[in-house]
Amino acid sequence: MKNILKMLLGMLVGAVAGYGGVMLVMWLVDGGMPSAKSHSEGIDYGLKAMSIGFALLWLFVTVFIHLVLHEAGHLITGLLTGYKFLSFRVFKFTIVKTDEGLRWKRFHIQGTGGQCILEIPEDQDVEKAPWFWYNAGGVLMNLLLAGLSILVLRSFELHLAAFSFFVMMAFVGILVAFMNGVPMIVGGVSNDGYNLWTLWRHPEERRFFVRSLQAAGKLSRGLRMSKMPATWFEDIPVKEQSHYLEISNRILYMALLEDQQRFEEARMVAEELMALGKKLAQLYKLEVGGELVMLELLTTQRHDVVDKLWDKQLERYTIANSKYSPIKCAVLYAYELLHKRDAEKADTYKQQFEAHRDDYTMPGEAKTTTILIESIIKKSTDNN
């Protein structure tokens, strides 16, 4: 009942917001800026208000269009400024560039509906690497579509279906541009505006942004982190004042330590990150928390610490994302084998990883996962 009431309340709030947004677009079309049509004949707001019901039918279509073209905006502006294509995702469906060509795969990040990842060439001067247009391209595309939709509405007589479509295209475009352009953390993920704001304020740390893209490019081609240039990974401890670029760099360094099987050091880095508390975005907290569980079991094996970390939310998140992230399979394997001592259940996650080894978007992570699983097996044998 509680979930039903929550859903109904959400629908009510959405309907009110949608009505207000559509009326705003109508005002921009007919009221905010006088058009030749509005001078020659009266504005039938009653008829246009009735069209709102039809317009809402276009909601899912226009959201999908803006989501796809938002990511296309990143792709276009990125390619024009020297980036190379790596992957393009809408919901869970992802096109990934591999050594064998383009491949369809499945991937998902909590709090995001899509993602376009481009690669910066390895020889790129990190101090001069372009960063603005790639991050701004999505918002600019949404605003362009919204502006063109308003222009169409002001310039042509449209029947109800077409009128409703372009009204929703304008409304959704403005809404998506606002949600992505105004700096904020959404679902634990920094939006485009927040990325731009941080990169503008901290030019000395733009190298972290560049190196994360370079590392992603190598991982997608099956290279492990330990085989990448050592200069891409800086051992810089985080503190309470650290922003997301520094935190992202620290997580990347932790992943390097895991790949090098320096588990004790990796555990200390994970503890350092978790000590940030509320400063650590929820998505990062779930990512780091799961790996800290695995690292605890590979090192000190403090089972009380594992029990404290492994709450229902972390368990659900790890299981759900094990479909897309091979490292999550290693986390679940370690938890079941080394903590719960359930070899049969642990084996299901090992089999899941082996069955989907070639399906992951980052083959380099899959190679690291193989090493982690071997280390977990060795730890279990040592314990016995």
Across 46-72, average pLDDT: 75
Whether 43 is in a domain gets the answer: yes
Whether 215 is in a domain gets the answer: yes
Residue 137 has pLDDT above 60, yes or no: yes
Give the pLDDT score at 200.
92
Residue 82 identity: G
pTM: 0.80
Q: Is the domain of 125 the same as that of 233?
A: no
What total of structural domains would you count in the chain? 3
- C-alpha distances (whole Å) from 47 to each of 50, 51, 168, 268, 357 are 5, 7, 16, 64, 56
> Contact at 8 Å (CB) between 332 and 322?
yes
Q: Is the domain of 118 the same as that of 141?
A: no
Give the pLDDT score at 208.
92
Q: For residues 42-52, b (16+ Cβ closer than 10 Å) or e, as one string?
A: eeeeeebeebb
Whether 11 is in a domain gets the answer: no
Rounded-to-integer distance, Cα 373 and Cα 100, Å: 27
Q: How confident is the model at residue 333 (pLDDT cuts 50, 70, 90)?
A: very high
Q: Is the domain of 242 the same as that of 302?
A: yes
Give the pLDDT score at 88.
76
Domain boundary residue, one of 142, 169, 198: 198
Q: For residue 326, what are the domain limits?
A: 205-383
Whether 362 is in a domain gets the answer: yes
Q: What angle do CA 349, 223, 375 make, to 5 degrees?
A: 40
On average, the pLDDT of the chain sits at 83
Q: Is the domain of 56 the same as that of 43?
A: yes
Q: How confident is the model at residue 312 (pLDDT cuts 50, 70, 90)?
A: very high
Please name which of 260, 288, 286 lies closest in space to residue 272, comparing C-alpha atoms: 288
Q: Is the domain of 59 the same as that of 174?
A: yes
> Contact at 8 Å (CB) between 296 and 307?
no
Give the pLDDT score at 358.
80
Rounded-to-integer distance, Cα 67 and Cα 288, Å: 28
Q: Which two tokens stand for residue 143?
A: 């605003």
Whether 238 is in a domain gets the answer: yes
Q: Is the domain of 271 the same as that of 309?
A: yes
- pLDDT tens for residues 67-98? 889 988 998 999 999 888 877 777 767 777 76
Rounded-to-integer distance, Cα 384 and Cα 381, Å: 5
Whether 6 is in a domain gets the answer: no
Q: Is the domain of 117 the same as that of 144?
A: no
Rounded-to-integer distance, Cα 114 and Cα 67, Å: 7
Q: Is the domain of 169 the same as that of 95?
A: no
Q: Which residue has the tokens 């704001």?
A: 197
Whether 48 is in a domain gets the answer: yes
Rounded-to-integer distance, Cα 200 and Cα 210, Å: 14
Across 48-69, average pLDDT: 75
Give the pLDDT score at 35.
47
Q: Is the domain of 295 the same as that of 368?
A: yes
Give the pLDDT score at 18.
60
Q: Is the domain of 121 the same as that of 247?
A: no
Q: Is the domain of 164 the same as that of 280?
A: no
Give the pLDDT score at 260.
96
Domain boundary residue, one of 198, 230, 245: 198
Identify the burial level of 299 via C-beta atoms within 10 angstroms of its C-beta, where 0-12 means exposed, 13-18 middle and 19 or more buried. Answer: middle
Whether 189 is in a domain gets the answer: yes
If one compares 304 and 45, the residue with the highest pLDDT of the two is: 304
Q: Is the domain of 194 the same as that of 236?
A: no
